[in-house]
């Protein structure tokens, strides 16, 4: 036999609903005050450090809202500790660049002059297809349009473009482009390495390994202008 009261209320009774409303209201006000104390930086852009702080605040706020055996005062103590630790760490971040990099990481250059920075790219848990999708959303169709692409500490990708007159031949990143890869060049034109994006002019019938990464698969390059 199904016990709908147990399903709907758990081990509590109906009177706890009013207490839940009061607990939630109190914790909501505390969350607002906590975020105000953290400052705009804490809610505008989230580094790994700031994400940990927000998760900690959320966990401390959530349990007292609907667990009767979790008091509000211990939650307030947790809030106070998290905000205090945040303030202390933020102070030391402002004093020491090395400490800032240790806590928050640092920006990573993913593309330099139209070519992948392979060593840096491998450090990030960022798939090629996912990265290409982000670039396409920014109006990029090939890597020759990009002077630099940098992954910021917040995870956002900053892209710096060549002016139209300076756009080079580069690796195409449109869906299906890399499926046309070849190991033997089929015509005289520019080809890009499918692994690192290095681009060079090739002669028909030749076979060669990329001078940057050593791979041997190539795809015909593009030099289209960027559509902004």
Angle at which helices 48-66 and 97-104 cross, to 10°: 50
Beta-strand (E) ranges in the chain? 108-112, 115-116, 146-151, 157-161, 189-193, 199-202, 218-220
Task: Assign 141 to helix, strand or coil.
Answer: coil
What is the per-residue pLDDT for 7?
60
What is the per-residue pLDDT for 182?
92
Task: Assign 200 to helix, strand or coil.
Answer: strand
Give CA–CA dist 42/36, Å, rounded. 9
- Which of 227, 45, 57, 8 lies closest to 136 in space, CA to CA? 227
Stated as kind and residue range, the H or E segment containing 135 is: helix 128-137
What is the per-residue pLDDT for 140?
94
Give CA–CA dist 211/225, Å, rounded. 26
Residues facing residue 112 across a β-bridge = 115, 148
Which tokens belong to 219?
Answer: 């795809």
Whole-prediction pTM: 0.65
What is the per-residue pLDDT for 110?
92
Mean pLDDT by 10 residues, the chain (228 residues): 62 71 77 64 58 76 72 76 82 83 82 90 75 91 95 85 93 91 91 94 90 92 85
- For the chain, the maximum distance between any two Cα atoms, rounded to a whole number of angstroms, is 82
**HEC-encoded secondary structure of 19-58:** HHHHHHHHHHHHHHHHHHHHCCHHHHCCCHHHHHHHHHHH
């Amino acid at each position: 036999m199904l016990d709908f009261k147990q399903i709907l209320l758990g081990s509590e009774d109906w009177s706890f609903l009013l207490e839940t409303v009061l607990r939630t209201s109190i914790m909501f006000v505390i969350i607002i005050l906590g975020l105000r104390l953290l400052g705009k930086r804490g809610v505008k852009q989230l580094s790994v450090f700031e994400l940990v702080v927000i998760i900690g605040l959320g966990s401390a706020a959530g349990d007292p809202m609907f667990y009767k055996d979790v008091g509000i005062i211990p939650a307030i103590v947790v809030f106070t500790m998290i905000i205090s630790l945040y303030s202390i760490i933020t102070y030391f971040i402002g004093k020491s660049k090395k400490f800032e990099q240790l806590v928050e990481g640092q920006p990573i250059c993913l593309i330099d002059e139209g070519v992948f920075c392979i060593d840096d790219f491998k450090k990030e848990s960022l798939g090629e297809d996912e990265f290409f999708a982000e670039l396409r959303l920014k109006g990029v169709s090939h890597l020759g349009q990009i002077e630099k692409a940098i992954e910021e500490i917040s995870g956002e990708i900053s892209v710096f473009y060549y002016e139209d007159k300076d756009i080079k031949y580069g690796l195409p990143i449109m869906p299906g482009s890399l499926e046309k890869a070849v190991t033997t060049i089929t015509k005289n034109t520019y080809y890009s390495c499918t692994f690192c994006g290095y681009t060079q002019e090739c002669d028909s019938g030749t076979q060669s390994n990329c001078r940057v990464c050593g791979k041997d698969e190539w795809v015909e390059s593009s030099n289209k202008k960027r559509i902004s």
